[in-house]
Chain A
Amino acid sequence: MIEFYNVSTRIREQMILKDVTFRLVKGEFAFLTGPSGAGKSTILRHIYMDVMPDQGMVIVENYNSAKIKEKEIPMLRRKIGVVFQDFKLLPDRNVFDNVAFALRVTGVKGREIRRRVMRVLAEVNLGHKRNQYPASLSGGEQQRVAIARAIVNNPFIILADEPTGNLDAATSLEIMQILEKINRQGTAILMATHSQEILETFGHRRIIVRDGALRP
């Protein structure tokens, strides 16, 4: 369902990925790990097709990087949830509207929006804070809002780029448990992380990147 075939990519004359090949199956939870600057974020960006390979190809569900049209990329992204270290919440609207945003920009109707937003907020235990603004939330709560926004479109996979990078150990664990729960409900998760602790606590498959290449 996600397949990289001999992907090589250069950005500004610099080789960023070198002959990357791997596959992620339906509902899998995998870690993407390796030193800073190795290319973890770049691999994730290939999956939501923010970066295109120079050689090889990336297949995501029924989309192929070699054939996809620019117009289809938004449709692909509606099936993928992304979560970042810096949350990327919009400060000018409350929790409810931040989550609803993902539905509004894809044309979902009002009543349906309310139903689905309330459901995912309950999922991350934030229903009671739906009227608060991001600035008044803790880091862990902000990341839970971001996760709610990522799952509100019922994606088949969550791409998490160091989602615990800004959080303390206890809060990180909380976020991991939410991701575990989402994964148990059938959503695949590919998570980039440095954290040795998390890698050891959660025994998922590790895809190790070094200098733009996968290590066996």
Chain B
Amino acid sequence: MSFWFTIREGFKGFRRARLSTSLTIISIFFSHLMIGLFLLATVNFSRWVDTFKNRVELEVFLEPGADDNDAQVLARQVRAMPEVEQVRYISKKQAAERFEKEFGRSVYDVLQSNPLPTSLIVHLKPAYRNALSIDRLVRQLNKMEDVDEVVYPQRVIALIDRYLNVVYIGGVTVLLLLLIITFVLIYNTIRLTIYARRDIIEVMKLVGATKRFIKRPFLIEGLLQGAIGSVLAIGAVWGVSLLIRDHLYSGLLPVGTPIWSLLVSGLLIGYISARFSVAKHLKEI
């Protein structure tokens, strides 16, 4: 059908309700700016967490009585576990070397014998580098033969996981609230433009325009508001990233491709709220 006619009528809605249209675009801009900054923070924060977790390793100490052969058997078993990426075997001798490297003196000088136990250094696959999986794995390891003790930075990992959850849930809650506010604003703006244009809607109905045709300019209006607000937000996030990189922290990672999810979200919320509003208010004309 007449495409330009619909677009033109969609834009006319803007002019009819200038104040509420501006308010709506500002609110879409604001909520999507928050989402964008949240994404920016997440990208950088999770990279930092990943580097830290990359270094997380479990050290499995063997019973004093275990010999080289027992250790090899255990290493093979551990390597076969689904969570495990890599296992490094540290013999008594290697443990002594490590001691010397760390403390600058040979263990024999200090104790005349080598009491250092044999151990396995276990690296986890990325998906299992969290408190829950690690706890489960440690319990399993502790039950295995020849295992004396498993050592790992339990408190730090638990802490990071807890804070990650808090940040994540808090962020998502705030974003949802912002999106709900945006929904209400768009819904209301479309309601206002529908009432501002009831004369034209009445005439459309009289001359036989289809329902779909009558609705379309309002849906386009919602889409346009969403597009404008979110594109402005994308630009602002980009500007903020540059500012931070130039003046605060040069290692900042940009959000990258996921930034376009803002546009998708803007279009979606614009369309959905307009649809709801049209479904409710067109009937009342």
Contacts and interface: CB of A to CB of B under 8 A. Distances in A.
Nearest to A80: B208
Interface string B183-225: 0000000000000000110111111111101100000000000
Q: What is the interface residue range for chain A against chain B?
A: 20 to 34
B195 to A, nearest CB: 15
Contacts of A102: 207-208
Contacts of B203: 88, 90, 101
Nearest to A73: B208
A90 B206 CA distance: 13
A153 B208 CA distance: 10
B201 to A, nearest CB: 11
Contact of B12 (A76, A92, A107): A92
B2 interface: yes
B1 interface: yes
Nearest to B210: A74
A7 B205 CA distance: 23
- Interface SS majority for chain B: helix
A77 B200 contact: no
Contacts of A75: 208
Interface string B34-56: 00000000000000000000000
A156 B12 CA distance: 33
A26 to B, nearest CB: 20
A82 B2 contact: no
A105 interface: yes
Interface in B203-251: 203-211, 213-214
B18 to A, nearest CB: 15
Interface string A88-102: 101110000000011
Contacts, number: 50
A21 B257 CA distance: 68
Contact of A106 (B199, B200, B209): B209
Nearest to A91: B199
B213 A105 contact: yes
A105 B199 CA distance: 14
B213 A88 contact: no
A104 interface: yes
Nearest to B203: A88
Contacts of B5: 104-105
Contacts of A74: 205, 208-211
26 contacts: A74-B209, A74-B210, A74-B211, A77-B205, A77-B207, A77-B208, A78-B207, A88-B203, A88-B206, A90-B199, A90-B200, A91-B199, A92-B12, A101-B203, A101-B207, A104-B2, A105-B204, A105-B208, A105-B214, A106-B207, A107-B1, A107-B2, A107-B213, A149-B207, A153-B207, A153-B208
